[in-house]
A and B are shown apart, each in its own frame.
Chain A
Amino acid sequence: AQSVTQLDSQVPVFEEAPVELRCNYSSSVSVYLFWYVQYPNQGLQLLLKYLSGSTLVKGINGFEAEFNKSQTSFHLRKPSVHISDTAEYFCAVISDGGFQKLVFGTGTRLLVSP
Chain B
Amino acid sequence: GAGVSQTPSNKVTEKGKYVELRCDPISGHTALYWYRQSLGQGPEFLIYFQGTGAADDSGLPNDRFFAVRPEGSVSTLKIQRTERGDSAVYLCASSYRREETQYFGPGTRLLVL
Measured CB to CB, the residues of A under 8 A from B are: 4, 36, 41-46, 49, 90, 92, 95, 97-107
Tell which of B14-22, B37-45, B79-87 binds the partner. B37-45
Contacts of A95 in B (CB 8 A): 45
Q: How many A-B contacts at CB < 8 Å in the complex?
A: 58
- Considering only CB atoms, which chain B residue lies closest to A109 in the complex? B40
Q: A100-B56, A101-B56 are in contact. Are A46 and B106 (CB under 8 A)?
A: no
Given A43-B91, A43-B104; A98-B42 close (CB under 8 Å)? no
* Whole-angstrom CA separation of A103 from B102 in the bound complex: 13
Query: CA A36 – CA B55 in complex, angstroms?
Result: 24
Which of A46, A97, A107 is the one whose CB lies under 8 Å from B101? A46
Q: Which 10 A-B pairs have the closest CB atoms?
A: A104-B42, A43-B104, A100-B48, A44-B104, A99-B99, A43-B106, A101-B45, A99-B98, A104-B43, A43-B105
Docked complex: B97-113 residues within 8 A CB-CB of A: 98-99, 101-107
Query: CA–CA, A104 to B40, complex, Å?
Result: 12
B67 proximal to A (CB < 8 A) = no
Interface class of chain B by DSSP: loop
Report the separation of the CA atoms of residues A104 and B91 in the bound assembly, to the nearest whole angstrom: 13
Q: Check B27 for interface membership: any CB of A closer than 8 A.
A: no
Residues in B61-104 with C-beta less than 8 Å from chain A = 91, 93, 98-99, 101-104
A98 partner residues in chain B, CB cutoff 8 A? 56, 98
In the complex, the answer to whether A106 meets B58 with C-beta atoms within 8 Å is no
Kindly list chain B residues whose C-beta atoms are within 8 Å of the C-beta of A41.
106
Nearest-CB distance from B7 to chain A (Å)? Answer: 13
The answer to whether A90 and B101 have CB atoms under 8 Å apart is: no
Report 18 cross-chain contacts, Cβ distance below 8 Å, ordered by A residue.
A4-B42, A36-B104, A43-B103, A43-B107, A44-B91, A44-B104, A46-B102, A46-B103, A92-B42, A95-B45, A98-B98, A100-B33, A100-B48, A102-B102, A104-B43, A104-B44, A106-B40, A107-B42
